[in-house]
Structure 1
Amino acid sequence: MLKEKVETKERVLDAAVSLFQIKGFNGTSVREIAKKAGVNVANISYYFDGKEGLLEYIVTKFFEGYIKEMDKVWRSFQNRPVRECFGQMLFHVMKYQHEHREVARVIYRELSVDTTFIREIMSTYLTKEKYYLKMLLELGMKRKEFRHVSVSFTIMQLKGMMTMPYLHQQYAAEVLHVLTHEEYFVTKYTSELQQWINEHICLPCTPLQLVVK
């Protein structure tokens, strides 16, 4: 029975993500999700408390994993160069997004819509993301590995570049000649981020090295 419940929830989640990608959250009905998942409409209310609860579950699950990747790198930091930790954190975040790219596309599109729910997400998980990036940037400047830059503006630039492939997939493909679903994408895109960081953040004597592991 437990296995059946898990499988039902997974079918509903997969159906919701697929439809949200195509029609958007507001353009998708609960009945459409239930039909695609092959379940009764009541199952969605039972497991997720409706469409809003379903989106909340998807966003929360995604960002819990996202922040866990950042936290894992931060905890293993110790006394290594800040630039190495910074590069590894970006790589792991990009890898995580790549592994959950369908969900990432849905979430980043919904984050562009100003709603009470989205503002709540902005004040929790994205605040945690800002904390890690801010700590690394400030520590890098203190240790004279990074230039003195505007921390807030640099974080905004980084966030824009980290989400860009999932908001503008076709444009990323035209510029980089690689699609987000291809395995090589993570290494290719992170190497481009590395080059930008070396030019705009790292001091010339402390270039960032991409650590792929």
Structure 2
Amino acid sequence: MQPTVPNQTKEKIIEAAIALFNTQGFNGTSVREIAKKANVNVAHISYYFNGKGGLLEYLVSKYYEGYLSVIEEGYIRLSHETPKNCLLLLIQDILNYQHYNRQLARFVLREVTLDSTLIREVMTTYLTKEKYFLKAILEEGIKTGYFRKAPMVHILVQLKSLLNMPYLQTQYMTEVLYIQTHETYFVKQYFHEIEIWIDHLLCEPAQKEAIV
């Protein structure tokens, strides 16, 4: 049997932590349980992450670094796409990113609802930048006549709720609504429903056409 190389050890810890944090919660999971599930020595968690708190910080940062990259790349499209297409393409990218990282997304989005020093830092960095880019796209849409004037804060609240709901309320989606958010088809269908929402709520009558 070949020994586990350092990068593999780190990835095994990450995968085990995400799985356990999702099923048992962060506070309900011990370092020893993570090490056991990852089949590594407990000391490796201290070595790579400086303990469970460091592991939490790493996972939250890992998720939002990737998430913000998606947001920033989507915003760049505003230079050559209409605001509506820019917003729709960005939403599509966000849904795909969340779906690909669905276990991590589920855990991180749940943690963001709690109050802690780490989460307050997330709010003032990653989520403040997210607001800036989304708001800029929406304001450009209003300025150019693609979107009607609407209370910006309320629009952002509704949009964020739509994007987060499938991963923040996974059990509700599965057990009550019988929607399988882990299935590939879900992203395509859900995006179509958000597109309808944007047409109905945001778009001026002349702009209510499908994405091109």
TM-score interval, smaller chain: over 0.9
Unaligned runs of 5+ in 1: none
- Matched with 1:47 is 48
Return the alpha-carbon distance in structure 2 between the equivalents of residues 210 and 179 of structure 1.
25
1:80 positional shift: 2.1
Q: What amino acid is the match of 1:107?
A: V
Backbone CA RMSD of aligned residues: 1.6
Cα gap change, 1:85/1:56 in structure 2, threshold over 3 Å: closer, same or farther?
Answer: same
Q: What amino acid is the match of 1:171?
A: Y
Please say if 1:92 is aligned against 2:93. yes
- Matched with 2:194 is 193
- Matched with 1:149 is 150
| Greater Cα shift, 15-24 or 69-78 | 69-78
The sequence identity of aligned pairs, in percent, is 47
Unaligned runs of 5+ in 2: none
- Matched with 2:168 is 167
The answer to whether the 8 Å contact 1:145/1:206 transfers is yes
Count of aligned positions: 209
1:173 positional shift: 4.4
TM-score by length of 1: 0.93
Q: What amino acid is the match of 2:195?
A: Q
1:192-211 equivalence runs, <5 A = 192-207=193-208, 209-210=210-211
Return the alpha-carbon distance in structure 1 between the equivalents of residues 114 and 210 of structure 2.
36
- Matched with 2:126 is 125
Cα gap change, 1:57/1:114 in structure 2, threshold over 3 Å: closer, same or farther?
Answer: same
- Matched with 1:72 is 73
The answer to whether the 8 Å contact 2:45/2:52 transfers is yes
1:178 positional shift: 3.7
Q: What amino acid is the match of 1:72?
A: E
Return the alpha-carbon distance in structure 1 between the equivalents of residues 62 and 72 of structure 2.
15
Cα gap change, 1:125/1:83 in structure 2, threshold over 3 Å: closer, same or farther?
Answer: same
The answer to whether the 8 Å contact 2:148/2:203 transfers is yes
Please say if 1:107 is aligned against 2:119. no
- Matched with 2:136 is 135
Return the alpha-carbon distance in structure 1 between the equivalents of residues 72 and 209 of structure 2.
20
Q: What amino acid is the match of 2:88?
A: G
Partner SS, residue 133 of structure 1: helix
| Greater Cα shift, 195-204 or 76-85 | 76-85
